[in-house]
């Protein structure tokens, strides 16, 4: 009986020692992600080059004004924008939970909301429950001062809030 248990233990341990196709794929994906990061001009992006590449495809500046990036570290702070300048608000999210970010509240006489999208994290293994980011893009359209706000609330009960994000935005000409 002891011999049989030892043989089973050796087989179990040796089964995990080799490389699998999935581990090789992960290495290739990480290497591709690093290459993409190097190809994308790094700007003030708190989340990293991968999301920068995604965001780059979502909005075209076209006006020569640098896009601002903010995340939860900017919560309850103040940011200045120029008219026609864009800002990406990048918040952690997970669509597999019942808590989702509400629509971003903006003063439409000062700002316009141009993007409200969920961007999933890279998931080459196609695992369940992998998170991502909620990306809001706003653009200054007229001088003024306003607060943009969103909450991460339960989809069935908007009063069940687990996180809040607010940012004071001052839009001016240069």
pLDDT tens-digit readout, 108-117: 999 999 999 9
Give residues with Cβ within 8 angstroms of 62, minimum separation 6.
none
* Average pLDDT score, the chain: 74
Assigned fold of 23-172 = Immunoglobulin-like (2.60.40)
Say if CB 118 and CB 134 are below 8 A apart: yes
Q: What is the predicted pLDDT for the residue at 36?
A: 33
Of the candidates 126, 105, 130, 125, the residue with the CA atom closest to the CA atom of residue 116:
105
Whole-number pLDDT of residue 62: 55
φ/ψ of residue 51, rounded to 5: -65, -30
Position 51 scores a pLDDT of 54
Q: Is the pLDDT of residue 122 over 80?
A: yes
Q: Is the pLDDT of residue 93 over 80?
A: yes
pLDDT tens column, 62-84: 566 888 899 999 999 999 999 99
Determine the average pLDDT of the residues in 87-111: 94
pLDDT at 168: 96
Residue from 151, 145, 152 nearest 169 by CA? 145
Q: Return d(Cα 10, Cα 51) in angstroms, integer.
A: 43
Question: Residues 59, 147: contact at Cβ < 8 Å?
Answer: no
């Amino acid at each position: 009986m002891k011999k049989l248990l030892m043989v089973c233990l050796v087989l179990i341990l040796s089964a995990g020692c080799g490389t699998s196709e999935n581990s090789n794929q992960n290495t290739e994906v990480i290497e591709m992600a690093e290459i993409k990061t190097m190809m994308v001009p790094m700007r003030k992006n708190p989340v990293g080059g991968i999301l920068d590449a995604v965001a780059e495809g979502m909005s075209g500046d076209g006006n020569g004004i640098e896009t601002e990036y903010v995340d939860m570290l900017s919560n309850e702070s103040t940011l200045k924008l120029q008219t026609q300048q864009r800002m990406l608000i990048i918040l952690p999210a997970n669509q597999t939970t019942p808590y989702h970010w509400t629509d971003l509240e903006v003063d439409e006489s000062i700002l316009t909301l141009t993007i409200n999208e969920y961007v999933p994290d890279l998931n080459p293994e196609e695992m369940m429950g992998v998170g991502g980011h909620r990306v809001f893009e706003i653009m200054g359209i007229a001088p003024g001062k306003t607060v943009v706000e969103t909450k991460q609330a339960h989809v069935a009960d908007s009063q069940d809030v687990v996180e809040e994000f607010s940012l004071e935005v001052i839009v001016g000409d240069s």
